[in-house]
Structure 1
Amino acid sequence: MQSKIDVAVMIGLGVPQSFRDRGQRVCWVVLINGEQRGTAFSSRAEAEECRSAWMRQLTMAA
């Protein structure tokens, strides 16, 4: 089975409180088969880097 790995943006109350406390109202997360894996990221670039790492890991496991 091939996993689907995406980066999704979260806005508003979906953003972790620690981010909102710093005034950040948006964050990005990595989804594998629709489920969040890991932490929220403050930039899309960080989330894309994590997505790439997941893709490498899952490719090696297959």
Structure 2
Amino acid sequence: MHSKVDVAVMIGSGVPASMQAQGKRVCWVVLVNGERRGTAFASPGEAHECRAAWLAQLNKGAMAGVARHAS
């Protein structure tokens, strides 16, 4: 199965209350197959690092599946 991993920006009321209390009005989140995964990030760079980690994990799992079928 091929998974899609994206970074999305949330603005205004979509920002978690804890971040709003700190004066943040925008945050970034990671979506896996359209579903939010993990926490909200204060910077796009942090979200992209998390996206890269998700992709690595998903690719590792996909490669393990290929190895099982090749045996």
TM-score by length of 2: 0.86
Q: Aligned partners of 1:23, 1:40: CA distance in 2, in Å? A: 14
Alignment map for 1:1-62 (pairs within 5 Å)? 1-62=1-62
Gaps of 5+ in 2: 63-71
How many pairs were matched up?
62
Q: Which has the higher contact order (CA 8 A, sep 6+)?
A: 1
Deviation at 1:38, TM superposition (A): 0.3
Deviation at 1:52, TM superposition (A): 0.1
Percent identity of paired positions between Structure 1 and Structure 2: 66
Give SS of 2:10's match: strand
Query: Computing the radius of gyration over CA atoms, which structure comes out larger, 1 or 2?
Result: 2
Q: Aligned partners of 2:39, 2:23: CA distance in 1, in Å? A: 18
Gaps of 5+ in 1: none
Larger helix share, 1 or 2: 2
